[in-house]
Amino acid sequence: MTTETTRIHNIGYRDYDGPRLGRAYARRSLYSQSLRGAYGLGRSAKSKVLPMILFAVMCVPAAIIVAVAITTKLNDLPLDYTRYAIVTQAVIGLFLAAQAPQSVSRDLRFKTVPLYFSRPIERVDYVVAKYAAMASALFVLTAAPVVVLYVGSLLAKMDFADQTKGFAQGLISVALLSLLFAGLGLVMAALTPRRGFGVAAVIAVMTISYGAVSTLQAIAWSQDSSGAVSWLGLFSPITLVDGVQTAFLGATSSFPGGDGPGAGQGVVYLLVVLALIAGTYAALMRRYRKVGL
């Protein structure tokens, strides 16, 4: 009868004999932790502010467009699904600049990387998880407004087949953009343990390359060499995406004169994008080869 009331609490060490879920589970855990981290979830309130603001900034214009389209009973959206990410590229660049260093520079700076590698995961798991998490975070950021546009277009009773096709093209385009940007951002961030340098490097590469390419394109256009316009687009990330979607995803190009690459040139664009994605992945693998313990 005393066993009910006088219980001995054993606070000594307890062995763990539950399941150990191994490498694949650890990789998934790292992925979800990094993805949540990109939006500040599971981190301090302060680190939620910027990503959440940027997410709102991405979605609000889409909501406004939808509201206008519904009230004025438009037959088509005033902005293409594929065009949205091009217009909001500054916001995407800012998100990448803030969150890519957050994801990888911190582990390098505070030397947490050895703790990961002293566990079941291997280098490839770390790189894949971080890459996938960054790409997913960008995809959430860029696909959300596209979804808003699509839902709005259906509410406005626009042509279903048309809108669905545009929506699908838009999703493919932002998926490609997310992969490309994530790779570029992570490579730049992983080169330096200093977060500030990472942020600056990402912003610089994104804006300088775009600024230079669009300036040269404008000059080429005014010189009537429209052939050069579409080749120049190969040299900045956002114009690469623009070129691919113009060639294959029915988008209208934002290049001067609206002349994007044709199907033949488009193949070159696509190859360059894929090579960049593969190249950034290889660069990350290489970067972490020496960061063992």
Partner 1 sequence: MARATNVDDVTVIATESLSKRFPKVTALDRLSVDIGPGVTGLVGANGAGKSTMIKILLGLSPATEGRAEVLGLDVAANGSEIRERVGYMPEHDCLPPDVSATEFVVHMARMSGLPPTAARERTADTLRHVGLYEERYRPMGGYSTGMKQRVKLAQALVHDPELVFLDEPTNGLDPVGRDEMLALIRRVYTDFGISVLVTSHLLGELERTCDHVVIIDGGKLLRSSSTSDFTQTMGTLAVEVTDTDAHPDGTAALRERLAEAGVSVHAREEDGLPGAGHILLVEATGEETYDVVRDTVAGLGLGLVRMEQRRHHIAEVFRTDSAEATDVAGAPDASSAGITDPPSGPAAADQAAEASAR
Q: Is the CB of 44 or the CB of 222 nearer to partner 1?
A: 44
- Rounded to a whole number of angstroms, the minimum distance from the CB of residue 195 to partner 1 is 11
Could you tell me the smallest distance in angstroms from the CB atom of residue 6 to partner 1? 23
In the complex, the smallest distance separating the C-beta of residue 126 from partner 1, rounded to whole angstroms, is 10
What does the binding site for partner 1 look like in residue numbers (CB under 8 A)?
11-16, 18-23, 25-26, 29-30, 33, 42-44, 47, 106, 110-112, 114-122, 292-293
State which residue, 111 or 157, has the beta carbon closest to partner 1.
111
* Distance separating alpha carbons of residues 120 and 25, to the nearest angstrom: 10
78 within 8 A of 69, measured Cβ to Cβ: yes
Half-sphere exposure of 272 (CA within 13 A, CB side): 19
- What is the nearest approach in angstroms of partner 1 to the Cβ of residue 288? 12
Our CB check for partner 1 shows the closer of 42 and 196 to be: 42
Residue 41 or residue 168: which is nearer to partner 1 going by CB?
41
Distance from C-alpha of 146 to C-alpha of 85, rounded to nearest angstrom: 9
List phi, psi (to 5°) of 191: -75, -25
Contact status, residue 100 vs residue 202, Cβ threshold 8 Å: yes
Nearer Cβ to partner 1, position 4 or 17?
Answer: 17
| Phi, psi for 32 (deg, rounded to 5) | -70, -35
How far is residue 178's CA from residue 185's CA, in Å, rounded to a whole number?
A: 10
- What's the min distance (Å) between Cβ of 55 and partner 1? 21
